[in-house]
Structure 1
Amino acid sequence: MSTSPCPRPGEPEAGGPVAGPRPPVSLSPSRASDFMRCPLLYRFRVIDKLPEKPSEAATRGTLVHAVLERLFDAPAAERTPPRARELLPGQWARLLEERPELAELFADDPAGEKLARWLAEAEGLVERWFTLEDPTRLEPAERELFVETELESGLRLRGVIDRVDVAPTGEVRIVDYKTGKAPRPEYRDGALFQMTFYALVVWRLKNVIPRRLQLVYLGSGEVLTYDPVEADLRRVERRLLALWEAIAHATATGDWRPRPTKLCGWCDHQERCPEFGGTPPVYPLPVVPPPRSG
């Protein structure tokens, strides 16, 4: 069991680089959501490790997260909108250095107009955060925290928490920044899945149930909170165990079926998806034959 700082972007699925495909060994909120959304998408990302093109929206989110993380390096009184705006160019340069492929997003923008608009949108999201939280009154215990634990079942859970606040009384608040808009009430259970996942990991690591889970939606200027109880975390644990069993079965049999939804239009893998007339790559892992009948 461990906790340590982890840089953006992405939630690691396994520790360190690995040569060649192998069965999944852990579960993160993102990959769990992938499997629930479409098992074939999970396979493409976790087992085949197919490359995906960077998107403006996801990269903007990464940039905004980086600015909000670095803002807390400054003394409380200096955590102001002008200071946050000053951080944007440097953090964008750092991202480009770490991930040169991001330059492809603005390859057709010789005059820099598209990039300027994109940076202005990121700046607007950062400035909206100041209307939702006051960073001069916050002293996070952790930022961009990589957490990992192994359940009694052997299932390893891991992920990256945007911010952890700890009150003087010891109460824990888990905070996640979202650059999109808050979901409608009927879809909030899905939005809270990631947060209850993190709460479960913290509970198993520290034997402390977080007092509050907080989603900060910069796109719509809303804050969604939820106060979990032990029954909630036991419920999500059972759900994750069932999900892991389904993943193990698909891994062993090679049966990764696509699940078409409205989100398919944004998928990078349509040319390999049977739903769109494509053919997946040859399955790279051994397949367990079904038992003989009779």
Structure 2
Amino acid sequence: MSTAGTAAEPSAETEEDSKPRRPALSPSRASDFKQCPLLYRFRAVDRLPERPTKAQVRGTLVHAVLEKLFTLPAGQRSPDQVKAMLEPAWQELSAERPEWAELFASGEPDEVSDWLASAGTLVDSYFGLEDPNRFEPEACEQHVEIELGSGVLLRGYVDRIDVAPTGEIRVVDYKTGAAPRLIGEAKAMFQMKFYAVVLWRLRGVVPRQLKLMYLTDGQSLVYSPDEAELRRFERTLEAIWQAILRAGKTGDFRPSPSKLCGWCDHQAHCPEFGGTPPEYPGWPEPDSGEESPLDRAD
């Protein structure tokens, strides 16, 4: 497998390339449906816009520099080197997505520099958790995809895949978001088991370790799944996809109120808050499996 971000030779678009990709399930969209089917509809079917927060964009920035960290030779991977990458990486990201730069349009002095300094604090926290000079990851920001025997297509991006000389696989995910810890950990572990199923089916090896690195508080959460657990989780993913298809055919994506509603951008369209959803456009076989950089950075 190749590392995401590696330059590829340009090629003419083929008829196959121009066809819509098959609908797939990603960890973010699966979590959306579990959390609230109506949220899934707003994001995957209606594609309603969402305004990112500075914290989300900072998470994307930190992920970008941690990916670039491993392009440096071992021995040169230091906090200062990585923090020096922050401003150039932000220039690249804001050029690609000008709407992110609009988050800093208030004109307050030192707004961007203070925000970059806060990203630097997360970088320091990362170096407090591991020494990146002591190993070489197999891949960073790796796109993975597999079709299960049931026909369900799983797709996602893994922050980092480490493979030991003995062949043992470690799946690593960086967390920079400010989600409530218990809810955030449950969602993050769902994501990690999703990746574990995909890698198990791709390689025939159950990942030895799933590692979540919480950069806000400098803590790690490590979990070791087994094959029986991944088989059960695979059935859970298949059941989620079948529930999505049933809702898609009828348009019956119901709201599921929870404490997370306070963070939702779509209250104006939600019946729980007196709103009205857009007219249901019908099930368009959306390619809801593609995660945004903000999904992956959360």
TM-score normalised by length of structure 1:
0.87
Q: CA deviation at 1:269?
A: 0.9
Partner AA of 1:220 in structure 2: D
Partner AA of 1:79 in structure 2: R
SS at match of 1:210: coil
Superposition CA RMSD, Å: 2.2
- Who is 2:12 aligned against? none
Closer/same/farther in 2, CA of residues 286 and 165 from structure 1, 3 Å limit: closer
- Who is 2:171 aligned against? 174
Aligned residues: 274
Query: Is contact 1:181–1:218 with CA below 8 Å preserved after alignment?
Result: no
- Who is 1:85 aligned against? 83
Deviations 1:116-166 (A, max 9, x none): 221111110011100101011020000000000000111000100000001
Question: 1:44-83 residue pairs with structure 2 within 5 A?
Answer: 44-83=42-81
Closer/same/farther in 2, CA of residues 48 and 228 from structure 1, 3 Å limit: same
What's the % identity of the aligned pairs? 57
Q: CA deviation at 1:237?
A: 0.4
Deviations 1:15-62 (A, max 9, x none): 98888xx9x811010001101111111001101111111211110100
Partner AA of 1:167 in structure 2: A
Where in structure 1 are there 5+ consecutive unaligned residues? Answer: 8-14, 288-294
Distance 1:94 1:71 in 2: 16
Partner AA of 1:265 in structure 2: G
Deviations 1:150-192 (A, max 9, x none): 0011100010000000111111100000014797579744431
SS at match of 1:153: coil
Question: 1:206-285 residue pairs with structure 2 within 5 A?
Answer: 206-285=203-282
Distance 1:203 1:218 in 2: 27
Where in structure 2 are there 5+ consecutive unaligned residues? Answer: 6-15, 285-298
Closer/same/farther in 2, CA of residues 62 and 188 from structure 1, 3 Å limit: closer
SS at match of 1:140: coil
Query: Is contact 1:181–1:220 with CA below 8 Å preserved after alignment?
Result: no
Closer/same/farther in 2, CA of residues 149 and 284 from structure 1, 3 Å limit: same
Closer/same/farther in 2, CA of residues 45 and 122 from structure 1, 3 Å limit: same
Q: CA deviation at 1:285?
A: 1.0
Distance 1:134 1:232 in 2: 31
Partner AA of 1:196 in structure 2: K
Distance 2:135 2:196 in 1: 20
Distance 1:53 1:186 in 2: 22
SS at match of 2:257: coil
